[in-house]
Amino acid sequence: MNKYNLTHLKELDAESIYVLREVAAQFENPVLLFSGGKDSIVCYHLARKAFYPANVPFPLMHIDTGHNFPELYEFRDGLIKETQGRLIIASVQQSINEGKVVEEKGINASRNKLQTTTLLDAIEEHKFDCAMGGARRDEEKARAKERFFSHRDDFGQWDPKNQRPELWNLFNGKKHFGEHFRAFPISNWTEMDIWQYILAENIKIPSLYFSHKRPCFERDGVIMAKTDFVETKESEHITEMQIRFRTIGDATCTGATLSNADDLNKIIDEVAASRITERGGRSDDKRSEAAMEDRKKEGYF
Amino acid sequence: MENNYLNMDLLRFTTAGSVDDGKSTLIGRLLYDTKSIFEDQLEAIETASEKKGEENVNLALLTDGLRAEREQGITIDVAYRYFATPNRKFIIADTPGHIQYTRNMVTGASTANLAIILVDARNGIVEQTKRHSFIAALLGIPHIVYCINKMDLVNYDQKKYEKLKSDLVGFSSKLKTKDIRFIPISALNGDNVVNRSSKMIWYEGSTLLHTLENIHIASDHNHIDCRFPVQNVIRPQKKEFHDFRGYGGRIAGGVFKKGDKVTILPSGFESIIKSINTFDGEISEAFAPMSITICLEDDIDISRGDMIVRENNQPISSQDIDLMVCWMDEKPLELRGKYIIKHTSKEVRCMVKNIQYKMDINTLHRIEEGVQIGANDIARISIRTTKPLFFDNYSKNRNTGSLILIDEGTNNTVGAGMIL
C-alpha cells in the first residue's frame, strides 16, 4: 500500500471519528445510544478515540427492555466502570408501569417495538438534542437511505422522502426548538468491517457472541434461547445446543446460530462464509417487507 | 484472509443513468456476481418478483429500499450499497433516475472517486448522458467509466459500440475529467460486468469489476497543500494531562509532521507542531483524510473554525467568493438573499451578490438574461461572507473548496457550492 493511502478500515475509523467530533461540536446535549451489542460497542470505542485523552463528552443511554440476557448487563456495567463512562438507563418496564405502552401478548410477544416510546420519552426528559446510534447502512434496506445526520421532527419522526441532502462531509445539524437529530457515525461500516475492527483493535465484546452451550428451541426456522421472557408452545422442544448470537437484541426476538466459533478469528471465518444476513435471525424485521421502515418513521433507532 | 482484509483500500463510486438504462440491474448484478447478496435477501426479492408476476428474479428490487419505491418501481433517494473483493472495498452511492435527479446525483457524486455512467447502446448519447457527465465533471470526480449497456439488444455489435465510444470521446473532451474509460456490457446477462463476455470477444479491455478493482485512487487526495480545519479543542481536565491542549480535526489536505512550522488562520500566529496524537499514541506524520489531534509548542487561542496550515503554503482568504452552486430547494435562490454557510468546520453568513449565469445542463449553454435559480438548477454566483473563509479552488481541493448553503428560516440545506 502507498505510503499516503489509508486502508479502508483506517479510512472508516477516521470518518467515524470525524462524525463523532461534529456531533460534539454542533449539539449542546448529545447522547450515544448503547445496547451492549457489537455495533454500539464499536461506536463507544470510536468515541473514546475521538476525544482522547479527554473523557467522552456525552453520556451513553441504554434503552433497556428488561428482557436482555444477564451476560449483557454484566458486560455493560463492567465496560462503563473500566472506561469511566456515564450511563443512563431508560427502562421499557417503567414505560409499561406508567401505562405509556401496552405489552404485546401472545406467543411472539416482544418489547422491541415498545422501545420507541421509551426512547422518545427519555430524549425529552433529558433534553437530548442528538441521539447517536450504531446503525449501519448495510443492515437493512431502509437504513441504506439514512444520512449521517438525520433530522427528526418534534414528534421524533423520520420522513424518508424529505431528507436533507448531505454533501461532502458538511453536516447540517441546524434545528428548530423541539426538534432533534439522530446521528450514525458507523453508517458506512459493514458487518465484516465491524468484526475485523474488533479483532484489529482488540475490543472486548459480550460472551454471548462466542460459541457456548445453552437451552434452546426452534421456532419458524429460527433458534431461540429459552429464557423466562419467552413462552414456548408444547410442540417446541427445549434442547441444549452449541450456539452463538450474531446480533444481540432483546432475548425475545434475537435468534441464535448453531456455531462452534469460540474466538474472533473463527467468527470472522463464519461471517465470511455465511449466506444469511445477520438480521435474518431477527424476527422483528420479518413482520413485513417494510417493517424496519415503519418503525424508523415512528422514531425507532 | 485476515491480513488481506487489513490491507484493502476503499473506492467510493456513484452510478448514473436515465430511467430504464438498467442501473439498478447493474448494481444488482455487481452484488450478485461478487456474492454480496445473502440468501434471505435473494429469497425476499424472489418472492417479490413472483408477486409482481415477473419471469426472472428482478435484481433491481435489491436496491429499492423504501415502500413507496417498491410500489412505484422507482428509486426516490440516494441509497448506499457495499461490497468487497479481496483487494478493495466499495461503497456505491446509488442515485435515482428522475425525481430530483440533479440534487441526488450531486449528493452521491460529492464523495465519489469514480462515476459509472450508463448509456443505452440503442439510444446513444441522450440529454441525460450529457447531464450526468457534466455533473460528474463539475463535482470533480476523478474517474468516469461509461458503461455501454444493453449490448445484448444490439446483437453485441462492435460497430455500434465503437461509434458510441467515439461520440462520447468527442463530447467529453469539453469536460475537465481526465480519466475516462468505456466498457460494453449487458447488465441483464452479466456480460463484462464481473465475468468476461463470450459474445464480445472483440472487446479487449477490462471488465467493469476489474476496472473498479484496479483503478489507481491513491492520488485522489491532495497530499501537497496542508490544511487542518479545527473541529474541537480537546482539554482533558485530568491530573495526568493537566497541561494538555489539543486540536481535533480531520486533515483536509497535505501531510503534517511533528516539528513543522505552522500558521494559524485567521489570527496569523505562528507556531510549531509539538505532537500529533491519537488514541494509539503519538505519530510522527499524518495525512488526509486522517482524524488526529494536534498539539502546538505555543499557547495560542484557537477554536473551532480556525485552520492550521503551513506558513509558506496558505489557502485563499477572502469574503468575496465566486462559486458554482447546485440549488436543492423548492424555494428559488434569492438575489441579495442571506444564507448560512458551512465550509470545513466554519460557519458564517453570506449574501448573494450576483447571479452570473445559469447552466443549461442539457446543452451546456449559459443563460445570462433574467434567470431564476430553482430546484435542480446549476448556476454561477458571487457571494459576500460576514467573515473571511480560508479556501482553495474546488479543483485543487474538494474538502476546502466545497460549501453548503442553509436557509435561515427553514434550516434546510438549500445549495451545494463549489468554489471557483
pLDDT per residue as tens digits for the range A74-118: 999 999 999 999 999 998 888 888 888 888 877 777 777 788 888
> Which of A172, A187, A190 minimises the CB distance to B342?
A172
Nearest CA in chain B to A189: B82
Q: What is the pLDDT of residue B2?
A: 46
Shortest distance between the Cα of B8 and any Cα of chain A, in A, equals 6
Shortest distance between the Cα of B162 and any Cα of chain A, in A, equals 36
| Contact between B20 and B126 (Cβ < 8 Å) | no
Task: With CB atoms and an 8 Å threshold, state whether B416 touches A7.
Answer: no
Same domain, B293 and B358: no
Q: Residue B45: which residues within 8 A CB-CB, separation 6 or more?
A: B57, B58, B59, B61, B62
Number of domains into which chain B is organized: 3
pLDDT band (50, 70, 90) for residue B153: very high
Single residue among B241, B275, B310 that ends a domain in this structure: B310
pLDDT band (50, 70, 90) for residue A154: confident
| Contact between B24 and B69 (Cβ < 8 Å) | no
Q: Does B8 touch chain A (CB under 8 A)?
A: yes
Same domain, B257 and B342: no
Residue B99: what residue type?
Answer: I
> Which of A161, A172, A280 minimises the CB distance to B413?
A172
Q: Return the residue in A151, A167, A247, A293 with the most chain B beta carbons within 10 A, the one to mutate for interface testing.
A: A167
Nearest CA in chain B to A297: B66
Task: With CB atoms and an 8 Å threshold, state whether B218 touches A48.
Answer: no
Same domain, B128 and B248: no
Same domain, B235 and B302: yes
Size of the A and B interface in Cβ pairs below 8 Å: 203
- How would DSSP label each residue in A123-150? HHHTT-SEEE----TTS-TTGGG--SEE
E strand or H helix at A241, and its extent? strand A239-245
What's B286's domain CATH number? 2.40.30.10
A130: β partners: A30, A181
Model confidence over B216-273: pLDDT tens digits?
Answer: 987 788 899 999 999 999 999 888 888 899 999 999 999 999 999 999 999 999 999 9
Q: What is the pLDDT of residue A270?
A: 87
More confident residue, B56 or B291: B291
Single residue among B261, B278, B310 that ends a domain in this structure: B310
As a whole number of angstroms, the distance between CA B413 and CA A167 comes to 9
Over the range A60-82, which residues count as b (16 or more CB within 10 Å of their CB) and which as e? bbbbbbebbbebbeebbeebbee
Q: What is the 3-state secondary structure (H, E, C) of chain B?
A: CHHHHCCCEEEEEEEECCCCCCHHHHHHHHHHHCCCCCHHHHHHHHHHHHHCCCCCCCHHHHHCCCHHHHHHCCCCCCEEEEEECCCEEEEEEECCCCCCHHHHHHHHHCCCCEEEEEEECCCCCCHHHHHHHHHHHHCCCCEEEEEEECHHHHCCCHHHHHHHHHHHHHHHCCCCCCEEEEEECECCCCECCCECCCCCCCCCCCCHHHHHHHCCCHHHCCCCCCEEECCEEECCCCHHHCCCCEEEEECCECEEECCCEEEEECCCCEEEEEEEEECCEEECEEECCCEEEEEECCCCCCCCCCEEEECCECCEEEEEEEEEEEECCCCCCCCCCEEEEEECCEEEEEEEEEEEEEEECCCCEEECCCCCCCCCCEEEEEEEEEEEEEECCCCCCCCCCEEEEEECCCCCEEEEEEEC
Sheet containing strand B88-94, edge to edge, reads B79-84, B88-94, B9-16, B114-120, B143-149, B179-184
Same domain, B177 and B255: no
CA distances from A25 to A30, A110, A206, B281, B347 (A): 10, 37, 31, 24, 12
Nearest CA in chain A to B237: A54
E strand or H helix at A90, and its extent? strand A87-91
As a whole number of angstroms, the distance between CA B89 and CA A7 comes to 10
SS3 content of chain A, % helix, strand, coil (to 5): 35, 15, 45
Same domain, B322 and B304: no
As a whole number of angstroms, the distance between CA B125 and CA B109 comes to 20
Query: What separation, in Å, do the N-terminal and C-terminal C-alpha atoms of chain B show?
Result: 45
As a whole number of angstroms, the distance between CA A92 and CA B418 comes to 47
DSSP state of A198: H
Residues 338-377 of B with CB under 8 A from A: 340, 342-343, 345
Same domain, B76 and B137: yes
Q: Does B80 touch chain A (CB under 8 A)?
A: yes
Shortest distance between the Cα of A198 and any Cα of chain B, in A, equals 12
Model confidence over B40-81: pLDDT tens digits?
Answer: 666 776 777 777 776 666 666 666 555 555 555 555 678 888
As a whole number of angstroms, the distance between CA B266 and CA B269 comes to 8
Shortest distance between the Cα of A167 and any Cα of chain B, in A, equals 5
Task: Write out chain B residues lying below 8 Å of A13, CB-based.
Answer: 291
Q: Does B2 touch chain A (CB under 8 A)?
A: yes
| Contact between A140 and A285 (Cβ < 8 Å) | yes
Closest by Cα among B392, B413, B294 to B347: B413
B278: β partners: B281
Same domain, B203 and B61: yes
Tell me whether residue B92 is exposed, middle or buried, using C-beta atoms within 10 angstroms of its C-beta: 0 to 12, 13 to 18, 19 or more. buried
What percentage of residues in chain B have a pLDDT greater than 70? 90
Q: Give the mean pLDDT of chain B.
A: 89
As a whole number of angstroms, the distance between CA B226 and CA B397 comes to 10
Task: With CB atoms and an 8 Å threshold, state whether B40 touches A54.
Answer: no
Q: Give the β-pairing of A239-245 and A256-258.
A: antiparallel
Shortest distance between the Cα of B128 and any Cα of chain A, in A, equals 21
Closest by Cα among A6, A58, A9 to A200: A9
Q: Residue B285: which residues within 8 A CB-CB, separation 6 or more?
A: B255, B256, B257, B258, B276
Task: Write out chain B residues lying below 8 Å of A269, CB-based.
Answer: 1
E strand or H helix at A192, and its extent? helix A191-200
Same domain, B206 and B239: no
Q: What is the pLDDT of residue A282?
A: 54
Task: With CB atoms and an 8 Å threshold, state whether B8 touches A190.
Answer: no
As a whole number of angstroms, the distance between CA A17 and CA A14 comes to 5
As a whole number of angstroms, the distance between CA A133 and CA A44 comes to 10
Residues 98-127 of B with CB under 8 A from A: 103-104, 106-107, 110-111
Residue B160: what residue type?
Answer: K
pLDDT reading at A178 higher than 70: yes
Q: Does B404 touch chain A (CB under 8 A)?
A: yes
Nearest CA in chain B to A146: B79
Same domain, B122 and B45: yes
B403: β partners: B417
| Contact between B235 and A24 (Cβ < 8 Å) | no
Which of A37-46, A96-105, A256-265 is modeled with the greatest confidence?
A37-46
3-state secondary structure of A4: coil
Task: With CB atoms and an 8 Å threshold, state whether B2 touches A199.
Answer: yes
As a whole number of angstroms, the distance between CA B408 and CA B420 comes to 24
pLDDT reading at A248 higher than 60: yes
Counts for chain A of helices (H) and strands (E), in that order? 8, 10
Nearest CA in chain B to A294: B67
Q: What is the pLDDT of residue B414?
A: 96
Task: With CB atoms and an 8 Å threshold, state whether A54 touches B237.
Answer: yes
Query: Cell 450511563 appears where?
Result: A87
Q: Point out the least confidently predicted range of B75-84, B299-308, B393-402.
A: B75-84
More confident residue, A249 or B398: B398
Residue A147: what residue type?
Answer: R
Q: Return the residue in A1, A2, A4 with the most chain B beta carbons within 10 A, the one to mutate for interface testing.
A: A4
> Which of A200, A265, A276 minimises the CB distance to B38?
A276
Q: Complex ipTM, two decimals?
A: 0.92
Task: State which residues form the domain around B115.
Answer: 2-219
A240: β partners: A215
Same domain, B384 and B408: yes
As a whole number of angstroms, the distance between CA B213 and CA B83 comes to 11
pLDDT reading at A46 higher than 70: yes
Residues 233-252 of B with CB under 8 A from A: 234-238, 240-241, 244, 246, 248-250
Task: With CB atoms and an 8 Å threshold, state whether B111 touches A168.
Answer: yes
Q: What is the pLDDT of residue B110?
A: 94
Q: Point out the least confidently predicted range of B65-74, B347-356, B404-413.
A: B65-74
pLDDT reading at B1 higher than 50: no
Sheet containing strand A130-132, edge to edge, reads A87-91, A60-64, A30-33, A130-132, A180-183, A149-152
Shortest distance between the Cα of B270 and any Cα of chain A, in A, equals 25
Single residue among B219, B239, B273 that ends a domain in this structure: B219
Q: Give the mean pLDDT of chain A.
A: 86
Model confidence over A193-244: pLDDT tens digits?
Answer: 999 999 999 999 999 999 999 999 988 888 888 888 777 788 888 899 999 9
Instruction: Return the biggest CA–CA distance within chain A.
Output: 63
pLDDT band (50, 70, 90) for residue B360: confident
Task: With CB atoms and an 8 Å threshold, state whether B2 touches A52.
Answer: no
Same domain, B137 and B240: no
